[in-house]
Amino acid sequence: MDDFKGKVAVITGAASGMGREFATMAASLGMKLVLGDVQRKPLEKAAEELMDGGAEVIAMVCDVRKSAHVQELADSAMARFGAVHLVFNNAGVGAGGLIWENSKEDWEWVLGVNLYGVVNGVRAFIPVMLECAAKDPAYRGYVVNTASMAGLINSPALGLYNVSKHAVVALTETLYHDLKLVDAPIGTSVLCPYFIPTQIAQSHRHRPDELRTDEIMTASQMAAQALTEKAVGSGKVSAAQVAQLTFDAIRAERFYVFSHPQALGTVAEHADAMVHGRQPPDPYAATPHLRDILKAGLKGRR
C-alpha cells in the first residue's frame, strides 16, 4: 500500500505516544482519520489539533477491551467515510512483577487491552475491509498490530506484558497467512518497538475502576515499574521515528517492523537455544544494568 491520499486510517490509542504520531503522519499524507482512545481530554485535544491542520477527523472514546466500542468505531468510520483502508490496532498498557504475583484483575486488564484490543480490532475491521474490497477491484487495505520486542524476548518480572505481546505476534502472523489464504488485497505488519519514550509506564492511571484492587504493590511490581520508567525514559528512538518506520514498512509491505533491530541478536539466541535444546538465554546479557535494577528492587521483598 503506497497511495494514502484521501484514504481512511483508523487508530486506537491515538491520543498519545505512537498512536498520536501515526495520526500526525497519516494526516500529513492526506488521510481521513478515525481516532479512538480511553482518554477523553487528550483525545479531544489531538483531534482539534489535527482538524486545525486541515484533516477530517472522527474522535471517539473507545475502550478496546470492549468489542462493542471497537465495532462502534468501525460503524462510525463507514457511516462517515464509506470505507476503511488502514487500521492501527495500537492501544496498549504495561504491567510487571513476578508472574505469580499478578492478580486476576492485572491479567484481565493487560490481556483485555493488549490482546483483546487487537482481537476486537481484527474482528471488527477485517470484515469491513473485505466488503470494501468486494465493491472496488482497485481497493488495497492494510492492518498494523502493535506488539513489542516483549513479544519476542521474555524478560523477567515482565511476564504478564510478555504473554500479551507474544499473543499479538502469533495473532498477526496467523492473520497474514489467513489473508493470503483467501487472496485478500489486505496487507499486514506486526510492529515490535523496544523502549520508546511514551507514557506506557504511567498507563496504570487509566486502569478501569472495576479492575483496580486494594492490594499494595509488591516489591517485584515496584521494581518492574522502576525498570520500565528508566528504560522508556532513556529511549533514544522517538515515537515519531517509529511512525516513519511503520509507514515505510506499509509502503514496502514488510511484515516485521523493529524500532531497534540491534536487539534481534537476543531473539536469534533464543531461537537457537530452542532448536538445540538449551536453557533460555539471559535477555539482559547485553544490558546487565537493567537486571541489576530488578535485583536491587527485590532485596528483602515481601
Q: Quick one: which of 163, 81, 172, 157 has its CA closest to 121?
A: 172
Q: Would you state the pLDDT for residue 171? A: 98
What CATH code is assigned to 8-296?
3.40.50.720
* 76 grid coordinates: 462510525
> For each successive 10 residues of the chain (302 residues), what is the average pLDDT?
95 97 98 97 97 98 98 98 98 94 96 98 98 97 97 94 98 98 98 89 83 87 87 88 98 97 94 97 86 82 57
Q: Would you state the pLDDT for residue 299? A: 80
Q: Would you state the pLDDT for residue 301? A: 60
Q: Would you state the pLDDT for residue 295? A: 86
Tell me which DSSP letter residue 206 carries. G
Active site residue 161: yes
Catalytic annotation, pick one of 116, 139, 142, 161: 161
Please state, in angstroms and rounded to a whole number, the distance separating the CA atoms of residues 136 and 131. 9
Locate the domains of the chain by residue range.
8-296
112 touches 36 (CB < 8 A): no
Determine the straight-line distance between the first and last CA of the chain, rounded to whole angstroms.
Answer: 52
Q: Would you state the pLDDT for residue 278? A: 97
Distance of CA 261 to the CA centre of its chain: 17
Q: Would you state the pLDDT for residue 195? A: 87
Q: Would you state the pLDDT for residue 302? A: 54
Distances in Å between the Cα of 39 and the Cα atoms of 44, 85, 100, 119, 300 are 9, 24, 30, 21, 37
- How many residues does the structure list for the chain? 302
* 33 grid coordinates: 482519520
Please state, in angstroms and rounded to a whole number, the distance separating the CA atoms of residues 69 and 202. 23
Q: Would you state the pLDDT for residue 198? A: 86
Residue 176 neighbours by CB under 8 Å, 6+ apart = 188, 255
Angle at 95 between CA 92 and CA 97, to 5 degrees: 160
